[in-house]
Amino acid sequence: MSNKIRNLKTSILSDNWYTLKKVDFEFLQKNGEWQPQSREAYDRGNGATILLYNKAAQTVILTRQFRMPTYLNGNQSGFLIEACAGLLDKDNPEDCIRKEAEEETGYKITDVQKVFEAYMSPGSVTEILYFFTAEYTKDMKVSEGGGLEEETEHIEVLELPFSRALDMITTGEIMDAKTIMLLQHAAINHLLK
């Protein structure tokens, strides 16, 4: 616990889908005074995401799926193009992302490379996201993907030229932060060269 925080009190506001907590505490200011503060924190668990890429074909695998929060915030269709991702649940990040890649994209990958970890919205969400990359080839395709019916996932699998995916950031066709980060990581580190 930080020595700049005291009198931490947490109450649960909602425990319906994930957990929304109200946190009251005192924060030590630079002048030495303790200031009362209150925040809300949404705990949805930690997750993992992956960019599948094919050097020979110069392509990447992305997904398209409906995201209600984007619809509520003005995205007319509610659909986002994203890198494959999922919550860890009780898996470690590498096992999680292998499983999610197969469920969502239909590709069974084995060799994944962890590239970094990041808090995606640290002002309100507790989640740490683990970022991975992996090469794929056509012979790794074991199913159509699309997600799990019992998780009400309706995922469209997209195979796009890498250069087109990068352009889609500029055009606004790709607006998902984790996907932008992975595509830029691939570009900066010349993964497809």
Task: Please state at what angle helix 162-171 crosses helix 177-188, rounded to 10 degrees.
Answer: 130
Q: Do 112 and 20 reside in the same domain of the chain?
A: no
What pLDDT digit, counting tens, does each position of 53-74 carry?
Answer: 999 999 999 999 999 889 999 9
> Is there a domain that residue 193 lies in?
no
Q: Do 65 and 151 reside in the same domain of the chain?
A: yes
Place of tokens 């700049």: 4
**Residue positions forming the annotated binding site:** 85, 100, 104, 153
What pLDDT digit, counting tens, does each position of 151-185 carry?
Answer: 667 899 999 999 999 999 999 999 999 999 999 99
**Running DSSP on this structure, what letter comes out for residue 107?**
B
**Residue positions forming the annotated binding site for Mg(2+):** 85, 100, 104, 153
Query: Between the CA of residue 117 and those of 17, 50, 69, 131, 182, what are the distances in Å?
Result: 24, 12, 23, 6, 11
Cα 61 versus chain centre, distance = 15
CATH code for position 53: 3.90.79.10
pLDDT at residue 151, as a whole number: 65
Q: Do 103 and 82 reside in the same domain of the chain?
A: yes
Give the pLDDT band of residue 95 (cuts 50, 70, 90). very high
Give the pLDDT band of residue 39 (cuts 50, 70, 90). very high
- Helices then strands, each counted (H, E), the chain: 4, 10
Q: Do 64 and 109 reside in the same domain of the chain?
A: yes
**Full-model pTM:** 0.92
pLDDT at residue 146, as a whole number: 77
pLDDT at residue 90, as a whole number: 87
In the chain, what is the greatest distance between 2 CA atoms, to the nearest angstrom?
63
User: Domain range for residue 167?
Assistant: 47-188
